[in-house]
């Protein structure tokens, strides 16, 4: 099964490499947002570089209240000042910087706690921050979780859960997870989560793919559970394409077949703001590709038993009670 997934994943990535520029020729090089987004409150993680930076910038210049959630707050403040100089007519941008380190679950809890104390509706949560430690040995966070799994899945999942009260306070809230075609390269077996393996057997790309697959499977169950409570939070995963960013150190050289970060941000912005996204939701869940259209997901995402297993293991590893979602709605009532 794992070998088939690997072959399927490589094929999907090759198709992206060969076709992504062709399939997105009709899209503008940058997606400029109109002033109608001035009422939106949006959190963007990993907003100091790459796709996250371009996403946050477009939203800020479009008038949204943007919260840059990142580790390097000093850099974020300088970036926001630069955006202010770009603002049309020097209008005051509504940008705030908050500290968030996804390698620390306590940092995630602190961030969410600070935000929830404001009792302010949150329109969109964009879980953009990610890590791919290409060619490096297996590493674990201080929480004892393999780093790809924590940064790409467990921490964003925890953040999404803890911010549910604020999301439920908005009129049409969305959770946007920046995913990857690499999710096709792996299978998820929660029994082997966080087991140390011999360096010769560890594959960073497989670990990355596993984390993105787990992210998809968890998001699907979250959408279902929210829908059961008649709470309409759109849960959308999006593959931004093969993009030249600093996600992979040493692989930053531009190439004709790779997107630049602004091009990669187009599909993320589309999923975060466009009303057309709702047309392709299935039980409030969808997976979009870089051409701003629904994409193909791994067959394992269709296995409900596996998805539920990922859900349960994620709650356990992040120390969240099994009835957390039910408690959120009970507290609202």
Q: Please give the positions annotated as active site.
A: 208
- Cα(209)–Cα(222) distance, rounded to whole angstroms? 20
Contact 160, 222 (CB under 8 A): yes
Element (H, E) at 237: strand 234-238
What Å distances lie between residue 304 and 221, 223, 298, 309, CA to CA? 8, 13, 13, 8
CA atoms within 13 A of residue 289's CA, in its CB half-sphere: 18
Reduced DSSP (H G I as helix, E B as strand, rest coil) percent helix, strand, coil of the chain, to 5: 50, 10, 40
User: Residue 259 forms beta bridges with which residues?
Assistant: 243
- Cα(274)–Cα(261) distance, rounded to whole angstroms? 20
Q: Residue 268: name the closest of 27, 55, 17 by CA.
A: 55
Element (H, E) at 175: strand 174-178
**Quick one: tokens of 182?**
């690499």
Looking up tokens 């393999």, which residue turns up? Answer: 146
Beginning with the edge strand found earlier in the chain, give each strand of the sheet holding 41-45 in spatial order.
Answer: 95-99, 65-70, 41-45, 124-127, 174-178, 234-238, 285-288
Cβ of 172: how many Cβ atoms within 10 Å?
12
- Cα(181)–Cα(297) distance, rounded to whole angstroms? 8
Q: What is the DSSP letter of 4?
A: H
Cβ of 166: how many Cβ atoms within 10 Å?
21
Parallel, antiparallel, or unpaired: how do β-strands 124-127 and 174-178 relate?
Answer: parallel
- Cα(85)–Cα(240) distance, rounded to whole angstroms? 28
């Amino acid at each position: 099964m794992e070998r088939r997934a690997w072959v399927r994943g490589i094929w999907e990535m090759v198709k992206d490499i060969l076709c992504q520029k062709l399939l997105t020729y009709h899209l503008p090089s940058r997606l400029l947002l109109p002033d109608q987004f001035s009422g939106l409150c949006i959190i963007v993680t990993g907003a100091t570089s790459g796709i996250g930076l371009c996403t946050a910038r477009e939203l800020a210049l479009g008038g949204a209240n943007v919260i840059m959630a990142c580790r390097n707050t000093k850099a974020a403040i300088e970036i926001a000042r630069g955006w202010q100089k770009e603002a049309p007519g020097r209008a005051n941008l509504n940008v705030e910087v908050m500290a968030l380190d996804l390698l620390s679950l306590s940092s995630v809890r602190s961030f969410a706690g600070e935000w929830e104390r404001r009792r302010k509706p949150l329109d969109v949560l964009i879980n953009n921050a990610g890590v791919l430690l290409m060619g490096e040995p297996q590493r674990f966070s201080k929480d004892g979780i393999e780093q790809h799994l924590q940064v790409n899945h467990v921490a964003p999942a925890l953040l999404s859960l803890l911010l549910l009260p604020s999301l439920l306070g908005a009129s049409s809230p969305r959770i946007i997870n920046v995913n990857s075609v690499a999710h096709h390269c792996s299978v998820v077996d929660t029994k082997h989560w966080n087991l140390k393996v011999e360096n010769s057997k560890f594959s960073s790309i497989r670990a990355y793919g596993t984390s993105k697959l787990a992210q998809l499977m968890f998001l699907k169950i979250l959408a279902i559970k929210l829908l059961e409570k008649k709470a309409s939070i759109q849960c959308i995963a999006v593959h931004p394409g093969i993009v030249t960013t600093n996600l992979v150190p040493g692989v930053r050289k531009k190439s004709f077949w790779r997107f630049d970060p602004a091009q990669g941000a187009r599909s993320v912005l589309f999923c975060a703001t466009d009303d057309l996204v709702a047309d392709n939701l299935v039980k409030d869940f969808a997976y979009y590709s870089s051409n701003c259209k629904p994409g193909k997901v791994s067959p394992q995402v269709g296995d409900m038993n596996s998805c539920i297993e990922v859900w349960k293991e994620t709650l356990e590893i992040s120390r969240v009670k099994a009835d957390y979602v039910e408690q959120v709605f009970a507290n609202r009532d």
